[in-house]
Amino acid sequence: MTKHPEHTPHQVAPPPPTRCNCAALREAARYVTQLYDQHLAAAGLRSTQFSILARLKELGPTTINTLAHALVMDRTTLGRNILPLQRRRLIVVKRGENDARRKELHLTTAGQTRLAAGFDGWAKAQAEFEGTLGKERASQLRDLLRVVVGTEFAAEPDARA
């Protein structure tokens, strides 16, 4: 005897995307990324590349693991994202000064120049975003997103809750 679809156990449908926190955050991130990419294009950078260069300048020579942690990125994803920057000689990998086994990422002079060239586009994107959303709301959003990034999600719900 074959089962008909109407006789299979009822499956719970996933919540609509409008109620999914992850989907909403990813959609907003893609939307805002497009804005920044448009403004950074004149400098030959994408928003992710600009972020990598800016954070590397802030941190100074550092390992890929440290940079990945600072950017809240998976190490392998960061590795794929730095390859074009290496090919363009905007960053280089060198052995550590104090430990030759340690490989450090360094921002090159060309990388600093490209980062500086991208700053104007970044500032325009910031101004457009804040002009649309409002400075206060944009600031509140950044604060809230920092809280999200600082949250440690438990693998299992806490039994005490």
Residue-wise pLDDT tens digits, 69-127: 999 999 999 999 999 999 999 999 987 777 777 789 999 999 999 999 999 999 999 99
> Closest by alpha carbon to 70, among 60, 55, 83?
55
Q: 39-60, pLDDT tens digit by residue?
A: 999 999 999 999 999 999 999 9
Check residue 153 and give its pLDDT: 77
Q: What mean pLDDT comes out for the span 4-31? A: 74
In the block, residue with structure tokens 């074009």: 84
Q: What mean pLDDT comes out for the span 33-41? A: 98
- Within 60-108, residue ranges assigned H as helices are 64-71, 75-87
Check residue 98 and give its pLDDT: 75
Is the distance from CB of 73 to CB of 56 less than 8 angstroms?
no
Angstrom distances, CA of residue 86 to CA of 8, 53, 119: 54, 11, 20
Task: With cut-offs at 50, 70 and 90, classify the pLDDT of residue 17.
Answer: low
Residue 10 has pLDDT above 70, yes or no: no
